[in-house]
Amino acid sequence: MNDTEQLIKEALGQLAERTPHPGPTLNALRRKRKRQRNNIFLIATAGMAAVVVLIFAGVIASDRYTPPNPNDAAAALVPDNATGALKYQPHWLPTGFTETLRAAHDGKTTRVWVPSDAPADAPQIDGPNIQLSSGQGYGGRADGWQNTTVRGLNARVQVNGSTAIVEWKAQETLVVQVQDVGDSRDTALRVADSVRADSNATFQAPFKLKDRQADVFSGSSPGDWRAKISAEPIEVTVTSRAPFAFGTQTSPVAVRGKTGTVDGSTVWVQEGDLWIRATSLEPGKSVDELVAAVNDVELASNVDTGWIRKK
């Protein structure tokens, strides 16, 4: 043992001699710790109860209508041509109904389902259909509403002939509209009760026009679809279906480096296996303006049509 080790040993020995007997101190600490344990147990129990209540309430709220977070992983993986989440999905529909239309514009969304054997132009024509809209209220009749509830939330329902509308407010206004489907009122309420948040379904625009994305996308099958931008006074459409001449006379026109067709107030041209069309919705628009609109169309490199006429 060297000199330093000896000095440390002697100092520890002197400190031990001056240290009082630990018995009284330990007894006091035991009494104090017992009281602290009881207090801690009570605090922890109350805290756990509060946490359980908060978690339960959060689960109920999110299970109802919490829309997807635009910063979450699912939202971060959407394609470049996605204009946003469709936000909500009904988890019950009458047997045989399939999705045929998606629309998204300025935070408002609409989804439409029709029977699987519905005509190719549904829902543009009359017939059975179910619509779910978010971010916008019902724009029809202002009277005839009856109070009801949707999953514990205040709601209202209206019946107009064979059409029923249910409107309620969650994080945002939701509307279910059912037309020509059995008991439309009961069907609309059942569909509304089944609505949940959906972060997986996104609106993917097949094309854009300058800084605007296509805002309506519909079809009768994955291979038969159309999308459009409703930007009056010129409506631009991209479709997989070859157009047919509406007017009695057509003429050729140079557009997108190809030969297109002028048909009355419409200019159209084929681009690969798609057709691009610009139509004047008001008088006075020149052919040059229609050609310019077609030239400005930028087609998406990947178009998801797998959802069309699927449940």
Give the pLDDT confidence of 24-78 residue by residue, as tens digits.
444 544 554 444 444 444 344 444 444 434 334 444 444 455 554 444 433 333 3
What pLDDT, on a 0 to 100 scale, did the predictor assign at position 220? 94
Domain with CATH 3.30.200.100 in the chain: 73-204
Q: What is the pLDDT of residues 214-228, one digit of tens each?
A: 999 999 999 999 999
pTM of the model: 0.73
Going by the DSSP 8-state scheme, the letter that residue 13 receives in this structure is: H
Structural contact between residues 238 and 207, judged by C-beta atoms closer than 8 angstroms: yes
Could you count the other beta carbons within 10 Å of the beta carbon of residue 217?
A: 27
Nearest to 137 by CA among 159, 113, 110, 163: 110
Per-residue confidence (pLDDT) for residue 54, from 0 to 100: 39
Residues in the chain, total? 311
Contact predicate 162/180, CB 8 Å: yes
Query: What does each C-alpha distance from 218 to 158, 159, 174, 206, 265 come to in angstroms?
Result: 27, 27, 21, 11, 23
Q: Which fold has domain 73-204?
A: Phosphorylase Kinase; domain 1 (3.30.200)
279: CB partners within 8 A, 6+ apart: 234, 235, 237, 265, 266, 290
